[in-house]
């Protein structure tokens, strides 16, 4: 198996790119580092492609390892043939390898192994050959044990037809009569058919082409969110991932009973044609064995495998969707230079308030009771107006959980009063509070705010999510940030591994300020683990602000290898070297300085706004081919350096859509069919996108309403955080939900 050519074909890249990337991975380089600083070697492969590359490489290497184990095991049994070796070599999946190994795998006690222990395998072979002309009953008599005397029947019997071996055989090796001999032989044939990799491969192909999932309600009278599946059929080759996961969940919760309808007659007919030679005395016996093999052994096994395979593919799709959504959310545009009032809504326990300054520092906290049952609107209004005035607050971040709608109406009224009394413009934004409660009770939150009540910490998190989504969301388990589909139903280990990669890519894309970043943010930087992240914070606490990147080499456990991986993603603002507010790696400092000198500037000029404009203009006029040759640097690397020098200190998130800021509330009752609204995409699934339009529940833009053109997948059209224009095309008053369209 040529791993390089397989990956090249699957990812549609060159084998030279594959070879170079494998070498870099094997040398211990991280995906973010390879994606950003080894573009010359990889041909500019993106972090998304490199993540897929890494997963596929790992799978194919495991496949190779398993092939070697299976080959060795069959060889040790003395049963390895050239045909089997070739089949193993050509197998493309672990499932294919296991099917080939199935007949040679040590088995637990089965009807066939019992029959073999009784010496009935030669009889099974005679039946399969279909050449013997003697009546089958006569042949069977040769395999019946003739008992002369029974001694201690629970353990041992004396047999008169076992003269050359031992005077006795154990009871479990006795064949009592002709009928038992025939049934035992048929059991062996049934298991051999079941274990035949050729049959299993063909049957699976037929099933994947023609099988249908047939779902019924466990109790048709019982209402549930699975009503659409109470009498549901669909070809398994057309079943989308979200339906597979929904059916799985419905089955787990005992609302649904799914089964797979397969073309049974076609499958049995195929096996019969391959095995039965003609109209012999063995024909009906073989038909019985084939049917038994299908119903008792093959079908249950194929069912499990199909369901497992469908689920695995659905989970992979869901993980991809979740990962893409999570990355977009993590890369949401920050709201900078504003003092934010975090508002965590509630009823009985009161709404928790936290005032955060523009740097994220906590200024004040309180609890107000404008909602039921207290309804103390007057005192709550006075409290918020005082906070707005005292701290010159510009923005409210309102959590979207319980009592969010009532809180939004209340805040909109306070904003009007702030305009009347202080002539001050204040806005609000609805912020997803998914995972805020998880963070509030976490060890990390306790370390950050040991003297702050758990309930108040949620309001702090909500405010900070608006100010800097990335820095705040990395503190929360990615599974809890609420932008996936069925994320709690899928393989949690795979989900965690995938989402860890997504967070790493997002953090490294933005870079971190080494002097302000928390350990929870630093630990996602390429080459830095949790221990090193804590050591960096401890180092700067003890030694003051870090002045340059190479100072990191003084941090315990951060060696040269880790430094190479992390240096380019670290930002040092106000330090010794202006290049260190960019993503230019230390290995390219000399080239960057020569480049600046060639156009008549110095690296310190990067900090001068007026000179920066000139630098940007002159850099845009550079001849890439010629300059790359002069500086002995790759063209891709040179382009990246020019890009960084043109926008030193830039935050790539600034190019992302800003949150929709509101000053007044839209009531559900105000919605009308045909109305055009602006909203923010909160979640993207396989079947559409959920858009926050300012009412209690997000509206759904079904996949069929995303565009006038055919849409293969919603993520091709929209991403989490996108600000979009939508038309209201349907209103469900009972469920307080709106159907939306993005068609022009």
Mean pLDDT throughout 671-689? 87
Between 166 and 39, the more confident residue is: 39
* Residue 585 near residue 567 (C-beta atoms within 8 A): yes
Other CB atoms within 10 Å distance of the CB of residue 476 = 22
Answer whether residue 97 is part of any domain: yes
Contacts of residue 239, Cβ cutoff 8 Å, sequence gap at least 6 = 213, 310
CATH at residue 357: 3.30.420.140
Q: Quick one: average pLDDT of 241-248? A: 91
Q: Residue 367's beta-bridge partner residues?
A: 352
Looking at the structure, tell me whether residues 115 and 97 fall in a common domain: no
Task: Looking at the structure, tell me whether residues 456 and 556 fall in a common domain.
Answer: no
**Span 159-183, pLDDT tens digits:** 434 333 344 556 778 999 999 999 9
The answer, yes or no, to whether residue 185 has pLDDT greater than 90, is yes
User: Do 169 and 300 have their domain in common?
Assistant: yes
CA dist 58 to 12, 22, 54, 659, Å? 18, 11, 6, 39
More confident residue, 696 or 644: 644
Domain count, the chain: 6
**Amino acid 650: pLDDT:** 86
Pick from 38, 70, 104: which residue ends a domain? 104
Is residue 481 included in any domain, yes or no?
Answer: no
**Which pLDDT belongs to residue 20?**
96
* Tokens representing residue 660 in the block: 């929709």
**154 and 278, same domain (yes or no):** yes
Place 148 in a pLDDT band, splitting at 50, 70 and 90. Answer: very low
Q: Cα(49)–Cα(275) distance, rounded to whole angstroms?
A: 47
List the domain range (segments joined by +) for residue 401.
Answer: 340-467
Region of 695 (left: φ > 0; alpha: ψ -120 to 50; beta: rest) is beta
Among 392, 384, 381, CA closest to 423:
392
Quick check: is 472 in a domain? no
Q: Which residues touch 116 (CB under 8 Å, ≥6 apart)? A: 188
Cβ-count burial 198-212 (b if 16+ within 10 Å, e if not): ebbbebbebbeeebb
If asked whether residues 59 and 192 sit together in one domain, one would say no
Establish if 438 belongs to a structural domain: yes
For residues 306 and 164, membership in a common domain is answered with yes
> Which CATH number does the domain housing residue 67 bear?
1.10.10.650
pLDDT at 231 over 70: yes
Q: What is the CATH number of the domain that holds 541?
A: 1.10.150.310
**Choice among 177-191, 193-207, 298-312, 462-476 with the minimum mean pLDDT:** 462-476
Are both 268 and 172 inside the same structural domain? Answer: yes
Residues 147, 241: one domain? Answer: yes
- Whether 720 is covered by a domain: the verdict is yes
Q: For 435-462, what is the mean pLDDT?
A: 89
- Rounded Cα distance, 611 and 607, in Å: 8
Q: Which of 467, 483, 502 is the last residue of a domain?
A: 467
Domain presence at residue 138: yes
Residues 243, 141 within the same domain: yes
Residue 236 located in a structural domain: yes
Please tell me whether residues 237 and 363 are part of one structural domain: no
**Confidence at residue 58, expressed as pLDDT on a 0 to 100 scale:** 95
Does 496 or 351 have the greater pLDDT score? 351
For residue 609 the two structure tokens come to 């706004």
Q: Is the pLDDT of residue 581 over 60?
A: yes
pLDDT computed for residue 170 by the predictor: 66
pLDDT of residue 498: 84
Region class of 58: left (phi > 0), else alpha (psi between -120 and 50), else beta = alpha
Residue 679 is part of a domain; what is its CATH number?
Answer: 2.40.50.140
**Are 100 and 115 within one domain?**
no
Instruction: Answer yes or no: do 173 and 276 share one domain.
Output: yes
Compute the average pLDDT of residues 539-564: 96
Q: How confident is the model at residue 150 (pLDDT cuts 50, 70, 90)?
A: very low
The verdict on residue 23 lying in a domain is yes
């Amino acid at each position: 198996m040529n791993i390089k050519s397989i990956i090249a074909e699957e990812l549609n890249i060159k084998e030279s790119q594959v070879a170079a990337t494998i070498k870099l991975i094997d040398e211990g380089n991280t995906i973010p580092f390879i994606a950003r600083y080894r573009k010359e070697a990889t041909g500019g492969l993106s972090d998304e492609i490199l993540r897929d590359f890494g997963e596929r490489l790992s799978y194919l290497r495991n496949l190779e390892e398993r092939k070697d184990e299976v080959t060795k095991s069959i060889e040790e049994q003395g049963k390895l043939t050239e045909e089997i070796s070739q089949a193993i070599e050509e197998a493309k999946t672990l499932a294919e390898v296991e099917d080939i190994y199935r007949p040679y795998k040590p088995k637990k006690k089965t009807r066939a192994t019992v029959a073999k222990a009784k010496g009935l395998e030669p009889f099974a072979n005679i039946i399969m050959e279909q050449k013997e002309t003697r009546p089958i009953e006569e042949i069977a008599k040769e395999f019946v044990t003739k008992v002369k005397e029974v001694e201690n029947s629970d353990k041992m019997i004396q047999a008169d037809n076992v003269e050359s071996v031992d005077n006795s055989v154990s009871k479990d090796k006795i064949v009592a009569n002709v009928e038992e001999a025939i049934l035992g032989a048929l059991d062996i044939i049934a298991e051999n058919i079941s274990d035949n990799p050729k049959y299993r491969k063909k049957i699976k192909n037929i099933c994947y082409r023609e099988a249908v999932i047939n779902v019924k309600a466990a109790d048709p009278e019982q209402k549930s969110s699975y009503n659409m599946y109470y009498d549901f059929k669909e070809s398994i080759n057309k079943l989308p991932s979200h339906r597979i996961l929904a059916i799985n969940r419905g089955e787990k919760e005992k609302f649904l009973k799914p089964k797979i309808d397969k073309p049974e007659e076609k499958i049995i007919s195929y096996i019969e044609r391959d095995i039965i030679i003609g109209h012999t005395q063995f024909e009906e016996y073989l038909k019985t064995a084939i049917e038994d093999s299908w119903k008792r052994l093959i079908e249950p096994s194929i069912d499990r495998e199909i369901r497992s395979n469908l689920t695995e593919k659905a989970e992979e799709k869901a993980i991809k969707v979740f990962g893409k959504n999570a990355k977009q959310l993590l890369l949401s545009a920050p709201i900078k230079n504003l003092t934010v009032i975090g508002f965590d809504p509630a009823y009985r326990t009161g709404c928790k308030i936290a005032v955060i300054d523009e740097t994220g520092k906590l200024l004040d906290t309180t609890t107000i009771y404008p909602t039921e049952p207290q309804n103390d609107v007057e005192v709550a209004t006075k409290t918020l107006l005082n906070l707005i005035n005292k701290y010159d607050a510009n923005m409210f971040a309102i959590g979207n959980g319980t009592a969010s709608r009532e809180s939004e109406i209340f805040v909109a009224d306070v904003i009007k009063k702030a305009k009347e009394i202080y002539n001050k413009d204040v806005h609000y934004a609805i912020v997803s509070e998914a995972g805020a409660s998880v963070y509030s009770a976490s060890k990390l939150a306790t370390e950050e705010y040991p003297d702050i009540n758990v309930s108040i910490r949620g309001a702090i998190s909500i405010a900070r999510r608006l100010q800097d989504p990335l820095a705040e969301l990395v503190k929360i388990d990615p599974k809890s940030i609420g932008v996936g589909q069925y994320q709690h139903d899928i393989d949690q280990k795979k989900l965690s591994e995938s989402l860890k990669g997504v967070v790493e890519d997002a953090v490294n894309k933005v870079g971190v300020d080494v002097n302000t970043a928390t350990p929870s943010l630093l630990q996602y930087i390429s080459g830095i683990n949790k221990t090193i992240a804590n050591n960096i914070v401890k180092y700067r606490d003890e030694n003051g602000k870090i002045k340059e990147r190479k100072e990191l080499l003084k941090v315990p456990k951060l060696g040269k290898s880790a430094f190479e991986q992390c240096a380019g993603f670290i930002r040092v603002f106000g330090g010794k070297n202006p290049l260190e507010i960019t993503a230019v790696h230390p290995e390219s400092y000399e080239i960057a300085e020569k480049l600046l000198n060639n156009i008549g500037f110095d690296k310190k000029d990067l900090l001068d706004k007026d000179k920066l404009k000139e630098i940007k203009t002159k850099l845009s006029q550079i001849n890439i081919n010629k300059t790359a040759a002069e500086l002995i640097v790759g063209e891709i690397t040179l382009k990246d350096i020019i890009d960084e020098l043109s926008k030193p200190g830039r935050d790539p998130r600034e190019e992302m859509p800003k949150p929709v800021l509101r000053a007044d509330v839209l009531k559900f009752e105000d919605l009308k069919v045909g109305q055009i609204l602006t909203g923010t995409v909160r979640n993207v699934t396989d079947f559409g996108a959920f858009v926050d339009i300012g009412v209690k529940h997000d509206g759904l833009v079904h996949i069929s309403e995303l565009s006038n053109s055919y849409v293969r997948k919603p993520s091709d059209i929209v991403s989490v955080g996108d600000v979009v224009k939508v038309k209201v095309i349907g209103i469900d008053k009972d469920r307080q939900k709106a159907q939306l369209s993005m068609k022009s």
